[in-house]
Structure 1
Amino acid sequence: MRAALYALLASTALLGALAGPAEAADRRMFSYDPISPDAKRLTGAGLTVLFEQSLLGARPIKVLATGVPAQALLRKGAEKDLGKGGLSAMSGVDTDAALFEVNGQAEQGKVYVRAFCPGSKRLWLSFSRIAVRRDLRIQAFGDDPKAPDQARLCGTLDFSYRGEWRLPSGGPPDPNEEWTDSLSSPRL
């Protein structure tokens, strides 16, 4: 009886230790400059990615245009939504990338869908590994109006790492709000 109790306590402690770091995620923002023709055409001055960094990796939350106030909220994507075989069934696609869907109902999501995949109603973005001083590849996929059950590759966007935004300790800033000092406010 006592051995079973010790085994249960040890299992609970191990699960708590594993769950604790996975839940503790830091929000960070990296900016990127466009280097591929698709990235230059679709993003102009580049983009910024807001993501959660944990021990298990980075999960993008939002994609923001660097030069204009446009942002797209992301949610986890399902490969089955891309059609039979998902990413691995498409040629010229990074099959080991993390897939996310742009929420077309939130913020400027519809703008991103129209810009990245004209004619599509949905947009998925696959991300290479997000890490400090590492370049980024994003591939854009849209639903194909001519083939309803199959997504199409709309563009491959390659970016060079520019830098990291410093976030305030109270949480991530809203990039669409003016954050600089107002000339009429008193300076401390």
Structure 2
Amino acid sequence: MKALKLAVVFSITASPALADTRYLAFDPSDRVTRALTRGITLEVERGWFGAVSVRRIISTSARGSATISRGGPDQARGVLPEGSGETSVYSIAQEGDGRGLARALCPGAEATYLVVGRVRAGRPIVMHGAGRWSDGTFRHCVTLSYNYRGEWSLPPRSSASGAE
């Protein structure tokens, strides 16, 4: 019983320290991807056991970013091309630059989703744009392929007093 209590206390106190935010930059690896995006940076949160969740997509070459959230309809995965291994569905927020990203990926769709492969530093990534039209049908819109470029770092946070 004491070991269980210690495990619970450890997980509560350690989880914020083990989770961190990273910025992974990617360059387009094909003509279609280059035409839609000249490069992206993914704001990712690495969880307690190393699981990665994408929080935001930032344009590397122009101003703009879109907030995305994990989750979406399974139908978005169902319309991917044969042999696609990407499984994580993200909903694109329809505020700010998210609306423009959704329109660029799936023109005419009522809702646009990104289906993303496993995000890892040092590895290429594939994303699919999938959309839901007003009649309720889902369609695959585009496949985006990126090569890993590097990781951005942020300056260390200073304390509230300004002393480091």
SS of aligned partner of 1:79: coil
Find the aligned partners of 1:68 and 1:129 in 2 and give their Cα distance.
25
Q: In 2 relative to 1, CA 165–90 (structure 1 residues): closer, same or farther, beyond 3 Å?
A: closer
Q: What amino acid sits opposite 1:53 in the alignment?
A: R
Find the aligned partners of 1:14 and 1:94 in 2 and give their Cα distance.
39
Q: What amino acid sits opposite 2:23 in the alignment?
A: M
Aligned counterpart in structure 2 of residue 87 of structure 1, from 57, 77, 94? 77
SS of aligned partner of 1:161: strand
Find the aligned partners of 1:11 and 1:118 in 2 and give their Cα distance.
53
**1:94 shift after superposition:** 3.3
**1:90 shift after superposition:** 4.5
Find the aligned partners of 1:96 and 1:68 in 2 and give their Cα distance.
27
Q: In 2 relative to 1, CA 13–101 (structure 1 residues): closer, same or farther, beyond 3 Å?
A: same
Find the aligned partners of 2:44 and 2:110 in 1 and give their Cα distance.
24
**1:17 shift after superposition:** 3.4
Contact 2:111 2:132 in 1 (8 A): yes
Q: What amino acid sits opposite 2:46 in the alignment?
A: Q
Find the aligned partners of 1:144 and 1:170 in 2 and give their Cα distance.
44
Find the aligned partners of 1:75 and 1:114 in 2 and give their Cα distance.
17
The answer for the alignment partner of 2:114 in structure 1 is: 125
Q: Percent identity?
A: 22
**1:25 shift after superposition:** 1.4
Contact 2:25 2:152 in 1 (8 A): yes
Find the aligned partners of 1:100 and 1:20 in 2 and give their Cα distance.
29
Matched, 1:30 2:17: no
Find the aligned partners of 1:18 and 1:151 in 2 and give their Cα distance.
40
Contact 1:139 1:153 in 2 (8 A): yes
The answer for the alignment partner of 2:8 in structure 1 is: 15
Contact 1:87 1:93 in 2 (8 A): no
CA deviation digits over 1:47-66, x for unaligned, max 9?
Answer: 11111112331111100111
Unaligned runs of 5+ in 1: 1-6, 172-188
The answer for the alignment partner of 2:89 in structure 1 is: 99
Q: Which has the larger radius of gyration?
A: 1
Find the aligned partners of 1:104 and 1:93 in 2 and give their Cα distance.
30
Find the aligned partners of 2:4 and 2:77 in 1 and give their Cα distance.
37
Q: What amino acid sits opposite 1:166 in the alignment?
A: S
Q: In 2 relative to 1, CA 76–93 (structure 1 residues): closer, same or farther, beyond 3 Å?
A: farther
Q: In 2 relative to 1, CA 121–57 (structure 1 residues): closer, same or farther, beyond 3 Å?
A: same
Contact 1:49 1:60 in 2 (8 A): yes
**1:93 shift after superposition:** 6.2
Q: In 2 relative to 1, CA 22–124 (structure 1 residues): closer, same or farther, beyond 3 Å?
A: farther
Report the count of equivalent residues: 156
Aligned counterpart in structure 2 of residue 53 of structure 1, from 46, 49, 56? 46
